[in-house]
Chains A and B, each alone.
Chain A
Amino acid sequence: MLEKGRITPSQMAFFIFGNTTVTQTLSLPRLTGPIAGRDLWLSSIWGSLAGIIALFLAVRLHHRYPRKTIIQYFPHILGNYVGKGVGLFYLFALLTLMGANLYQYTDFVKTVFLPQTPAVIIMASLLLACCLAARGGLETVARTIQLVGPLGAILFIILLGLTVQAWDVGRLFPVLEEGILPTIKGGMISALWFSEFFLISFLLPNLVEGGRSLRWGFLALFATFIFFILTDLIVLMVFDVQSHIYNYPLFEALRYISYADFFEHLDALAMGLWILGFFTKTSFLFYITVLGTAQWLNLSSYKLLVWPLGFLSVILGMWTTPTVQGLFNFLSTTGPWYFIFFLVVIPAVLLFVSTLRKQGAETG
C-alpha cells in the first residue's frame, strides 16, 4: 500500500467537516440567495441528502474493496483500460475542485486584504504549506488539522454567536413564500458541497482497525448540516433577503460585530480563521490528489509527485476560472452537475456494476 500512515475516524471526521464548511461558510449564501431567496437555509436540507448518499456509497464501496481507494478500484470494476481512463477524468475533476478552491481563497484574500498583491503569491504561499504537509504523509496532514481544526472551529462558533446583536428573527419570515421549488434548486448547489463527503473514500483504507467509520462519517455530516443551516440563518437574520448582494455575506456579518465601541473590527480574526480553514481544506484536497495520482500511475511513493502537482495546482488555480464572477457562475450552474456526477453518480454506477459482477469482499 502506498500510504503507511493510519488515522483515527475522528481525524477523518475533522478532515471532511473542514473540507465542506470552509468554502460553504464563505460563499454558499451568496450562491443560493438569488435562487432560494428567504428560504435559502431550507435548501441545505435538500443538499444534505446528497451527503447521505455520498457517505453511504463511500462506505459500501469501502466494504467491497477494503484496502483500496476509488482510483484503485476503478480498474477492478470497469476493466483495466476503461478504469484507467475514468480514473484520469476523476483525477482531473479533483484538480478542478482544487483549482476552484484555490481561486476562491485567492479572491477572498485579495479582495478583502491584499488587493495589490499578485494572486500567484497568495496562492503559492498557501500551497507551499500544503505541499510540505502532504510530503509528511497522511498522519502529518491529519495531525496539523487536528491541531488547528478544533481551535478554529471553536473560535468561529464564538464569532458566530457574537453576531446575535444584529439578529432579527422576523427576517426569516415568511417561510416558503415562493413554494418549495426554489429551495430544491438551491439544494442542488448545496449538494455540491455535501457530495464532497464521498472524498472520505480516499481516507477509509487508512483508518485504524476497528474504527467506527460510518458513525464518525455521519457525525461529521450532521455537524456540517448544522453548520450550513446556522450560517444561512445568521446571514438571513443579519442582512435580510438581500444578503447575496455581498460576495462574502458571512464575512460581512462577522465584521459587523461591534460591542461597546471597542470590541469591533473583528475582520482580521475572521480572516485568520478562514485562512486556517482554507489550509485545512487545501491540504486535504491536495493530499488526496497526490495520493490518487500516485495510485493511478502505480508508483511506489507519492512523495515525488508533491512538488510537480503543487505547481500544477497553482496553474489550475489561475486557469480554472477567469474571474470570480465566472467561478460563482460556474458553481451555481454547471458546477453542481459536474461535481455531483463525479462524486455521486460515478460511485453509484461503480457500486451497481460491482454488485452485478458480484465482486469484492461481500460483507453485507
Chain B
Amino acid sequence: MIQGGFRKIFSSILVIALLCSLLGCWDRRELNDIAIISAIGIDLLPDNRIELVIQQIIPLSPEDVGGDQGSTKTLIQSGKGKTVADAKADLQAKVGREIFWGHTEVILIGEKLARKGIQEHIDFLIRHPEVRLRADVFVSKNPREILLANPKAERFSVDSLHFLTELGTQLSIDVNELVMMLTGEGKATLLPWVEVSKQNEVPYINGTGIFKRDKMVQRIDDKRTRALLWLRDEMRRMIITFSLKEVKGDVALRVITSRTRRIPQIEHGKWRIIVPITMKCDVVFNGTTQSLKNPRFVKMVEKEAEREIRLLVSDVLKKIQRGKRLDIFDFGEIFHQAYPVEWNRVKEQWDEILPNIEVQVLPKVRIKSTGMTNSPMRVPRTEEEGKKK
C-alpha cells in the first residue's frame, strides 16, 4: 500500500528531525565555547561607572595540573559600563567565549558601590536565567583583590569563602536571602565582609557589613557578628573563651547546637522581645585547676558562659538597635508576624520605636561533654619552680 511506504518515510524524517533538536537547537553550547565563571565582583569606579570583574575558570588537563603547582587556574577579567548589563557587554567583547554564569558561586560587591546602593544591581542577578539564587553574596573593600588572591590549598580563591560559609561560624547570605532582606519589613540588610589575609593570600570573612535598606552604613567586627548570629538564630558552630570570676584561668566552650527563639510581647503599650538562647556545649579547654568532675564547677562555668553571651549580645543591641536604629535582627518581621494589627499601626514610625524595644536575652548553656579528659593535669608547680631556681 502506498500509505505504508509514506508512513515509513515520514516517520524516518520525523525521527531525524527530533534527533536534531536534541542537540539543543539554536542554543547548543560546547564546553569549548563557553567561559565558565566561578565568581564575579561588582564595584563602582571613580567616574561613577560600574566595573564587573569575573573570575574565569581555565580548564586544565590533569597533566597540566600535575606538573606545575604554581600555574594559574583562574583568569581575572573586567568590563566597565553604565550598568552591570553594560559592563557585561563590554566584558563579553573582551572575553570572546560566551560567558556562562551557571557556576557562579560567589558574588562580591565593592564597598563603594555598597555605600551608594545595591538594589538596581541585584536586579541583573535575579533577572538573568543562569545566575543562581544559591550564589553567596559578600561585600568587600576591593572585589578584584579578593578574586586575585591565590590561596595555595584551594583550586580557586573563592573556594575558601564557600567553605567558610559552610562551616556556620559566619554569616552566610545568598541572593535569595539578600532579596528577601532588601524587600522585607526590617529595612536593613546584612552581608558578610571579606578580606584577604596578608600572610597567605587567603580570602576570609571578617565581620559584617550593615546596610540601611540597600546602602551600606557600617561595618561590625567578627566578635559582634557572633552576637548577631545568636540574635538571628544563625549560630551553628563556634568557640567561646572566657575567664571565670571566682577561679583563676580561662575556659573555652565549643557550641555544638544553639537555638534562639524570639518571643515578641506587647504589654500595656510596651514592646518587648524575649530571646531565650539554648546551647549545648563541649568543654574544649580548661585552664583552671578545678576539675570538671565537680558538678558545682560545671554549673559555675555554665553560668559564666551565659553571662559572657548576655554581655556580648547586649553590647551589640546597644550599638546597633539603640545607637544606629537599624533593625538587623528582624524584630520588625517578628512583631509583624505575631502582632499584625499593632505592627501596621506603627510601621511608619518603626525607626522611633525600635530603640525603645526592651530585649531580654536569656542564654541557657548546658555542658554535654568535657572532651577526652575530666580533671586538668596536675603539674607539681611549686616543685618545678623550685628546681628552676
Given A114-B27, A117-B25: A255 touches B133 (CB 8 Å cut-off): yes
Interface residues of A in 116-165 (CB under 8 A from B): 116-118, 121-122, 125, 128
Does B27 lie within 8 Å of A115, measured CB to CB?
Answer: yes
Interface residue from B14, B133, B162, B344 paired with A256 (Cβ < 8 Å): B133
A18-26, A237-245, A319-327, A338-346 - interface stretch: A237-245
**Interface membership of B26, Cβ < 8 A:** yes
Q: What is the bound-complex CA distance between A113 and B21, given in angstroms?
A: 13
Q: What is the bound-complex CA distance between A166 and B179, given in angstroms?
A: 14
Q: Which chain A residues border B183 with CB–CB below 8 Å?
A: 240, 242, 245
**Interface membership of B160, Cβ < 8 A:** no
Q: What is the bound-complex CA distance between A323 and B132, given in angstroms?
A: 25
**Interface membership of A264, Cβ < 8 A:** yes
B271-279, B334-342, B380-388 - interface stretch: B334-342
Beta-carbon contacts of A74-97 to B below 8 Å, as 1s and 0s? 000000000000000000000000
Min CB distance B182 to A, Å, is 9
**Interface membership of A111, Cβ < 8 A:** yes
Q: Which residue of A lies closest to B123 (CB)?
A: A245
Interface residue from B126, B129, B180, B336 paired with A111 (Cβ < 8 Å): B129
Does B129 lie within 8 Å of A242, measured CB to CB?
Answer: no
A-B contact count (CB 8 A): 61
Does A118 lie within 8 Å of B337, measured CB to CB?
Answer: no
Interface residues of B in 327-386 (CB under 8 A from A): 333, 336-338, 340, 344
**Interface membership of B117, Cβ < 8 A:** no
Beta-carbon contacts of A247-265 to B below 8 Å, as 1s and 0s? 0000010011010010011
**Interface membership of A180, Cβ < 8 A:** no
Q: What is the bound-complex CA distance between A239 and B183, given in angstroms?
A: 11
Q: What is the bound-complex CA distance between A177 and B344, given in angstroms?
A: 9
Does B27 lie within 8 Å of A174, measured CB to CB?
Answer: no
Give the total of B residues in contact with A, Cβ under 8 Å. 26
Q: What is the bound-complex CA distance between A329 and B102, given in angstroms?
A: 30
Given A170-B337, A174-B336: A125 touches B134 (CB 8 Å cut-off): no
Interface residue from A174, A238, A256, A261 paired with B340 (Cβ < 8 Å): A174
Q: How large is the interface on A (under 10, 10 to 19, 20 to 34, 35 or more residues)?
A: 20 to 34
Does B166 lie within 8 Å of A261, measured CB to CB?
Answer: yes
Q: Which chain A residues border B26 with CB–CB below 8 Å?
A: 114, 116-118, 121
Beta-carbon contacts of B105-146 to A below 8 Å, as 1s and 0s? 000000000000000000000100100111000000000000
Interface residue from A121, A174, A255 paired with B337 (Cβ < 8 Å): A174
Interface residue from A111, A166, A170, A255 paired with B132 (Cβ < 8 Å): A255
Q: What is the bound-complex CA distance between A174 and B334, given in angstroms?
A: 10
Does B126 lie within 8 Å of A246, measured CB to CB?
Answer: yes
Does B129 lie within 8 Å of A115, measured CB to CB?
Answer: yes
**Interface membership of A112, Cβ < 8 A:** yes
**Interface membership of B176, Cβ < 8 A:** yes
**Interface membership of B62, Cβ < 8 A:** no
Does B21 lie within 8 Å of A121, measured CB to CB?
Answer: yes
Beta-carbon contacts of B1-35 to A below 8 Å, as 1s and 0s? 00000000000001000100100111100000000
Q: What is the bound-complex CA distance between A276 and B21, given in angstroms?
A: 16
Q: Which chain A residues border B337 with CB–CB below 8 Å?
A: 170, 173-174
Does B126 lie within 8 Å of A240, measured CB to CB?
Answer: no
Q: What is the bound-complex CA distance between A246 and B129, given in angstroms?
A: 11
Q: What is the bound-complex CA distance between A255 and B333, given in angstroms?
A: 26
Is chain B's binding surface mostly helix, strand, loop or mixed?
A: helix
Does A258 lie within 8 Å of B25, measured CB to CB?
Answer: no
Q: Which residue of B lies closest to A172 (CB)?
A: B337
Given A114-B24, A117-B27, A170-B337: A240 touches B180 (CB 8 Å cut-off): yes
Min CB distance B162 to A, Å, is 8
Does B340 lie within 8 Å of A258, measured CB to CB?
Answer: no
Q: What is the bound-complex CA distance between A258 and B383, given in angstroms?
A: 59
Q: What is the bound-complex CA distance between A252 and B130, given in angstroms?
A: 11
Q: What is the bound-complex CA distance between A115 and B29, given in angstroms?
A: 12
Q: What is the bound-complex CA distance between A238 and B133, given in angstroms?
A: 11
Interface residue from B14, B102, B176, B344 paired with A239 (Cβ < 8 Å): B176
Min CB distance B156 to A, Å, is 14
Q: What is the bound-complex CA distance between A166 and B180, given in angstroms?
A: 13
Q: Which chain B residues border A265 with CB–CB below 8 Å?
A: 102, 132
Q: Which chain A residues border B126 with CB–CB below 8 Å?
A: 245-246
Q: Which chain A residues border B102 with CB–CB below 8 Å?
A: 265
Does B27 lie within 8 Å of A177, measured CB to CB?
Answer: no
Q: What is the bound-complex CA distance between A9 and B38, given in angstroms?
A: 52
Interface residues of B in 230-284 (CB under 8 A from A): none
Given A239-B180, A242-B183: A116 touches B134 (CB 8 Å cut-off): no
Q: Which residue of B lies closest to A252 (CB)?
A: B133
Q: What is the bound-complex CA distance between A112 and B166, given in angstroms?
A: 28
Interface residues of B in 176-200 (CB under 8 A from A): 176, 179-180, 183-184
Min CB distance B6 to A, Å, is 13
Q: What is the bound-complex CA distance between A44 and B151, given in angstroms?
A: 52
Given A174-B336, A177-B344, A261-B166: A112 touches B129 (CB 8 Å cut-off): yes
Given A111-B129, A114-B26, A264-B134: A245 touches B179 (CB 8 Å cut-off): yes
Does B166 lie within 8 Å of A128, measured CB to CB?
Answer: no
Interface residue from A115, A125, A177, A258 paired with B21 (Cβ < 8 Å): A125
Q: Which residue of A lies closest to B166 (CB)?
A: A261
Beta-carbon contacts of B157-176 to A below 8 Å, as 1s and 0s? 00000100010000000001
Q: What is the bound-complex CA distance between A9 and B102, given in angstroms?
A: 44
Min CB distance A12 to B, Å, is 29
Q: Which chain B residues border A173 with CB–CB below 8 Å?
A: 337-338
Sample 14 A-B pairs with CB under 8 A, ordered by A number.
A113-B27, A114-B24, A114-B27, A121-B26, A166-B176, A173-B338, A174-B340, A177-B340, A238-B176, A242-B179, A255-B132, A256-B134, A258-B134, A261-B162
- Extra pairs beyond A121-B21, A170-B337 (14, CB < 8 Å): A113-B27, A113-B129, A114-B24, A114-B27, A115-B27, A117-B27, A173-B338, A240-B184, A245-B179, A245-B183, A255-B132, A255-B133, A265-B102, A265-B132
Q: Top 4 A-B pairs ranked by shortest CB distance?
A: A174-B340, A117-B25, A173-B337, A116-B26
